[in-house]
Amino acid sequence: MITPPEWLDECEFPFTSRTFAHPDGELHYVDEGEGPILLFVHGTPDWSFGFRHPMIAFRASHRCIAIDHLGFGLSDKPAHGDYTVKAHAVRMQAFIEHLALKDITLVVTDFGGGIGLQHALEHPENVKGIILYNTWMWPLNDDERFAAPARIARSWFGRLLYLRFGFSVNVMMPGAYGDRQKLTKAVHAHFKKALPDASSRMATHALAREILDAGPFWGEQWRRIDRLRDIPTLIGWGMKDKLLPHYCLDRWKQALPHATARIFPQAGHFVHEEAHEELILAMRAFLA
């Protein structure tokens, strides 16, 4: 257990902070409740704080676990850490093994798709269900909607934007909301203060670069998508997402025709923040 920072509102995030000692660095996580396991896997510039609403809702009936990836949230942020999607996925597997988690339901979003679903691809027998929303798991290199801004992120100017000006948390995050007013100053502060300066933002810049660099890793994952077709799946989608277009939802539905689909018309990219009540209802129906 660790002492949370002074800026963390413990009424908003009423969980015990724990750490997983990985060779790459100390990883912060929360582990609340008992019962069937829900493992929440975030993207950028998110951290376990973002999942507080569903965790509060389900901890009376489920064991709710959320880890902060290396470089995010309250986890270590080494200057020369390996922040590739593949490295995050390898650390996630080590975390699952460390806690000996069995019969997991994965809840994944944003970059968390490629990170968390790697376990389902490698160990489908250990995954009881999948809940995914506003995420992807295929190469983006040939899609100019993603490749063009990723090329900027790889430049010196992109590095300046992400590291010095906190582009990911200060600009992209509010811009991805369907209704920016739902990102209050108090909530936004919990993401800003987790990434306060250039030295703490290396992982956000690295994942922006991964839009192009992780293509081979995502390509190998997508070639094995059939391994997920026997796993009960809920696909959700915030329809006002300005980062991931609707055709990403269509691609998931085509690849996993057995899945249940649920749209959130007024939500943008961060469904667990913007439409958490609707998401919780959809999750309850699915888990039942």
2-58 pLDDT, tens per residue? Answer: 788 999 999 999 999 999 999 999 999 999 999 999 999 999 999 999 999 999 999
Q: What is the pLDDT of residue 121?
A: 98
d(CA 33, CA 49): 16
Name the active-site residue from 110, 190, 205, 276: 110
Residue 59 and residue 35 in contact, taking contact as beta carbons nearer than 8 Å: no
d(CA 150, CA 161): 12
Q: What is the pLDDT of residue 2?
A: 76
Report DSSP state, residue 180: G
Sorted by where each begins, the domain ranges of the chain are 18-287
What's the rounded mean pLDDT across residues 260-284?
98
Name the active-site residue from 62, 88, 119, 269: 269
Residue 138 confidence class, pLDDT cut points 50, 70, 90: very high
Q: What is the pLDDT of residue 181?
A: 92
**What radius of gyration do the chain's Cα atoms show?**
17
**Could you tell me which residues are beta bridge partners of residue 18?**
29
Active site residue 110: yes
d(CA 265, CA 276): 13
Average confidence score pLDDT of the chain:
97
Active site residue 68: no
Give every CB contact of residue 11 below 8 A, 6+ residues apart in sequence: none
Name the active-site residue from 31, 46, 68, 241: 241
Q: What is the pLDDT of residue 3?
A: 84
Residue 230 confidence class, pLDDT cut points 50, 70, 90: very high
CA separation (Å) from 76 to 80, 109, 199? Answer: 11, 22, 11
108 burial type by CB count under 10 A (0-12 exposed, 13-18 middle, 19+ buried): buried
What's the rounded mean pLDDT across residues 236-245?
96
CATH hierarchy code of domain 18-287: 3.40.50.1820
Cβ count near 174 (within 10 Å):
16
The predicted-structure confidence for 86-107, as pLDDT tens digits, reads as follows 999 999 999 999 999 999 999 9
Active site residue 188: no
Report DSSP state, residue 137: -
Q: For the chain, what's the residue count?
A: 288
